[in-house]
C-alpha cells in the first residue's frame, strides 16, 4: 500500500523514513508548503495526492485543525485510508471523519495521537471488544512529567524547569497546552472515544501545573508524596467523566516510577483488572512507530477504533470524589471544607474532606477570580 504523508516535520520525517523499510507499505508523495518542495517526492497540493489512484493511504502529521480536517475529509472521500497523529484534529472533528470513513468503507485510525509510542489506544480498542472498560487514564503528557520530576528530584523552581524543558525541546516556545493540562485532556477525550464510542465535549475540566511552587513540592515531599499530572476518564451514570488534575501519590505508587518525559497509560477492565503501559509518549521515532503500527493494522483489515460509531457526549465530573491538598491564602481557609490544615505564615495548606472533582475545579476558579493564588492536587492514599 502506497502511503502519502502530509507534513514533513518531526513526525513526518520519521514516518517517511520508516515507510522506506516497512513490510507491505511503500513511500508515496509528501505534502509540504509551497516553496519547500526541494525534492521530487515533495508536492505542494493536496489535490495531487487525493487524485492519485496509486495512493492507498494518507498519514496526516501536520498538526492543527485546519487545513488538516479539509485534507482528511478530501482523502477519505476519495476512498483513501486515513491515519493521523493529530489529537487536536480528532478531538475537534473526530465524529465527522468517522462518518465519512464509514460511508467510504476505509480506515480512520489515530493511535499515535495519544501516548506517542505507547500503544494505549490500540490496546484499548482491542480490550473493549472483549471486556468492559471501567476506567482509564494516567500520565499522558511527557513535558509536565519532566517538569514535576525535575522539581521534585532536583529541587528546582517552576520557571527554571520550564526553561530547561524548552532548552531540551520537551516544551514548546508557547507551553500553554502542556502546562495547562489541555494536551492531556485532549488525549483522555480520545481514550473515552475509543473505550465508549463517546467523544466528550461539554463539561471537561483541566487543571495543569502552572500554580505549583518549589515550596509546595518541598511540603508534600516531606510528607511522603510525589506529584504527577494525571488524566482520568471512565463511564459515569449518564455519559462519561474526563478530567486532568495534579495528583499526590504515596511514594511507591506506580506513577512515582515514571521519570523524566515518560508516559504511563492505564486502563481497568472489568475482567482483566488494571493494565499499565509505560514508554515514550512523544518524539520522532516513538510517534512515527505508532503511525506505522496503524498503517500495518490497515493491511491486516483494521478499519476503525470505535466499532459502533462515534458520537459527541456530555461529561459528568461530579460523581468522582477526592480529598484535595490545597494551598491558598490563610484568610480564605474557611472557604473549603478542611479535614486538616497547617498554617504556614500567611498561607494555609489543607487536606479537604472528599469533594466532587467538578466542585474542586469550580472552587479554585472562584477563588482565583478573587485574586487568590491557589494550588490544588487530589490526594491518592
Q: What is the contact surface with ligand NAP in residues (CB under 6 A)?
A: 7-12, 31-33, 61-63, 67, 85-87, 112, 116, 282-283, 287
> From the CB of 187, what's the least distance to ligand NAP, in Å?
9
Q: Which is nearer to ligand NAP, 32 or 315 (CB)?
A: 32
| Residue whose grid cell is 506505522 | 292
Distance CA 205, CA 365 (A): 11
For residue 1, give the nearest of 30, 23, 18 by alpha carbon.
23
Q: Which is nearer to ligand NAP, 33 or 155 (CB)?
A: 33
Distance CA 171, CA 175 (A): 6
Q: Which is nearer to ligand NAP, 87 or 322 (CB)?
A: 87
Distance CA 96, CA 297 (A): 22
Q: In whole angstroms, how large is the CA radius of gyration of the chain?
A: 22
Q: Which is nearer to ligand NAP, 197 or 286 (CB)?
A: 286
SS3 20: coil
Inter-residue contact 373 to 347 (CB < 8 Å): no
Q: What 8-state DSSP symbol labels residue 354? A: P
> Residue 67: is the preceding peptide bond cis (ω within 30°)?
yes
The residue number whose beta carbon is nearest to ligand NAP equals 9
For residue 111, give the nearest of 90, 129, 131, 92 by alpha carbon.
90
Tell me, yes or no, if 187 is annotated catalytic.
yes
> From the CB of 279, what's the least distance to ligand NAP, in Å?
12
Distance CA 25, CA 23 (A): 6
Q: Which is nearer to ligand NAP, 262 or 376 (CB)?
A: 262
- Per annotation, catalytic residue among 23, 87, 104, 187: 187
The grid coordinates of residue 331 equal: 484568610
> From the CB of 31, what's the least distance to ligand NAP, in Å?
5
> From the CB of 62, what's the least distance to ligand NAP, in Å?
4
> From the CB of 337, what's the least distance to ligand NAP, in Å?
39
Q: What 8-state DSSP symbol labels residue 64? A: S
Give the residue numbers annotated as catalytic, written as ranges: 187
Amino acid at each position: 500500500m502506497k502511503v502519502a504523508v502530509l507534513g514533513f516535520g518531526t513526525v513526518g520525517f520519521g514516518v517517511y523514513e520508516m515507510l522506506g523499510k516497512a513490510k507491505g507499505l511503500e513511500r508515496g508523495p509528501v505534502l509540504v508548503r509551497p516553496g519547500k518542495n526541494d525534492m521530487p517526492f515533495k508536492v505542494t497540493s493536496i489535490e495531487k495526492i487525493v487524485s492519485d489512484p496509486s495512493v492507498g493511504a494518507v498519514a496526516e502529521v501536520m498538526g492543527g485543525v485546519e487545513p488538516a480536517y479539509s485534507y482528511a475529509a478530501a482523502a477519505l472521500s476519495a476512498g483513501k485510508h486515513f491515519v493521523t497523529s493529530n489529537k487536536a484534529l480528532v478531538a475537534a472533528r473526530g465524529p465527522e471523519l468517522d462518518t465519512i470513513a464509514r460511508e467510504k468503507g476505509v480506515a480512520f485510525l489515530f493511535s499515535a495521537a495519544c501516548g506517542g509510542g505507547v500503544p494505549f489506544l490500540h490496546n484499548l480498542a482491542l480490550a473493549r471488544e472483549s471486556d468492559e472498560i471501567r476506567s482509564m487514564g494516567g500520565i499522558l503528557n511527557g513535558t509536565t512529567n519532566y517538569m514535576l520530576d525535575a522539581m521534585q528530584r532536583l529541587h528546582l523552581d517552576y520557571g527554571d524547569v520550564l526553561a530547561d524543558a524548552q532548552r531540551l525541546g520537551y516544551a514548546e516556545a508557547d507551553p500553554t497546552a502542556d502546562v495547562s493540562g489541555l494536551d492531556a485532556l485532549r488525549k483522555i477525550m480520545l481514550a473515552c472515544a475509543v473505550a465508549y464510542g463517546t467523544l466528550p465535549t461539554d463539561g471537561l475540566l483541566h487543571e495543569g501545573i502552572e500554580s505549583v511552587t518549589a515550596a509546595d513540592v518541598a511540603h508534600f515531599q516531606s510528607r511522603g508524596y510525589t506529584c504527577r499530572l494525571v488524566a482520568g476518564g471512565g463511564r459515569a451514570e449518564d455519559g462519561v467523566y474526563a478530567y486532568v488534575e495534579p495528583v499526590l501519590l504515596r511514594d511507591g505508587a506506580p506513577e512515582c516510577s515514571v521519570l523524566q518525559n515518560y508516559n504511563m497509560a492505564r486502563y481497568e477492565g472489568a475482567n482483566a483488572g488494571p493494565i499499565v503501559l509505560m514508554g515514550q509518549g512523544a518524539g520522532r521515532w516513538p510517534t512515527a512507530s505508532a503511525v506505522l503500527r496503524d498503517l500495518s493494522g490497515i493491511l491486516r483489515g483494521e478499519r476503525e477504533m470505535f466499532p459502533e460509531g462515534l458520537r459527541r457526549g456530555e461529561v459528568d465530573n461530579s460523581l468522582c470524589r477526592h480529598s484535595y491538598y490545597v494551598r491558598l491564602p490563610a484568610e480564605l481557609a474557611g472557604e473549603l471544607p478542611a479535614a486538616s490544615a497547617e498554617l504556614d505564615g500567611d498561607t494555609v495548606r489543607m487536606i479537604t474532606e472528599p469533594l466532587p472533582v467538578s466542585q474542586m475545579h469550580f472552587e479554585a476558579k472562584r477563588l482565583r477570580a478573587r485574586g487568590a493564588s491557589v494550588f490544588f492536587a487530589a490526594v491518592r492514599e
